[in-house]
Amino acid sequence: MMLEEAVSAADCVALQLANDADRYAALGHHLRSTAFHNAVTVARGSSDHASSYLAYLIMARMGRLVTSLPMSLVTLYKAPLQAAGLLAVSVSQSGQSPDVVEPIHYFRAGGATTVALVNDIDSPLAHEAEWALPLRAGKEQSVAATKSFIASLTAGARLVAEWQQDDELKAGLAALPDALRRAAQTDWSAALEVLTPARNIMVVGRGISFPIALEAALKFKETSALQAEAFSGAEIKHGPMALIDEGYPLLIFATRGPAQAGLVALADEMRGRGARVLLAAPADVPSRDLELPVAACPDLDPIVAIAAFYVMAAHLSEARGLDPDKPRHLNKVTRTH
């Protein structure tokens, strides 16, 4: 199911893009006409990684600072957070967990603009938010989120495209389903030789590619029982460098943009230290080990990159003798307070 759902993400995104245009446009108009100084995201797990991608777009394009909320500040510590003039965006597949629902209720009651990007539009989260926008990924059977994550990234990019009224980003989104179909056919079999016997791995990104490094590390843990940690390319030379020795595997996502050159150089340096590097980069990077598919504009590249990764991750789980649809000790919906 994980593989089937990952491959189906292109159709889910096409369905999302074909719906709710007026609602996104109205939200974009509201965001442009409201003086937000900052924003906060409310999410867990893969949805939090999607929120990190949205936060990067908002900060880079709209100039607003974005914070990922530690939900316990609301649910346990009852902190007197100031909500007036705040944009609060929650991302969720199920919309069920109390520690996601309660902060949105709190922020809306305090005067914030609240947005829920949620797959289950009849969920408690959708009912609490002022603006609830369906991901339209359909029911997800696999415990490991794939198509809902890709739909979450897409919804975040749609929100920013309408807020900014950026025609290039809008055109890139329109072309995204075809880019995702191509991504699902990308051959990453070279990664299986390195990762099937591996015990641990570092996943590296920077800037707009860091959220997908976080997501890839989570999926390695969930579906392949592989101890994986994600690091920014700017941080790996601090403490993490001490762990890298001969044969240590590194997966580096070098998507297009200002951070790419540094990540390619990092891959070269780590090879010199004996690491087993898997550099995922576009076709025009000669030193790549895995080819990264690209979207119509660079800010959408992480969406097609993670689609290629998911296909490989499903095959890797099986190669390691596991069932990617039944990760150990995990449930589809997690409710925390």
State the catalytic residues.
Answer: 332
Per residue, the 3-state secondary structure of the chain, as one string, reads CHHHHHHCHHHHHHHHHCCCHHHHHHHHHHHHCCCCCEEEEECCHHHHHHHHHHHHHHHHHHCCEEEECCCHHHHCCCCCCCCCCEEEEEEECCCCCHHHHHHHHHHHHCCCEEEEEECCCCCHHHHHCCEEEECCCCCCCCCCCCHHHHHHHHHHHHHHHHHHCCHHHHHHHHCHHHHHHHHHCCCCCHHHHHHCCCCEEEEEECHHHHHHHHHHHHHHHHHHCCEEEEEECCCCCCCHHHHCCCCCEEEEECCCCCCHHHHHHHHHHHHHCCCEEEEEECCCCCCCCEECCCCCCHHHHHHHHHHHHHHHHHHHHHHCCCCCCCCCCCCCCCCCC
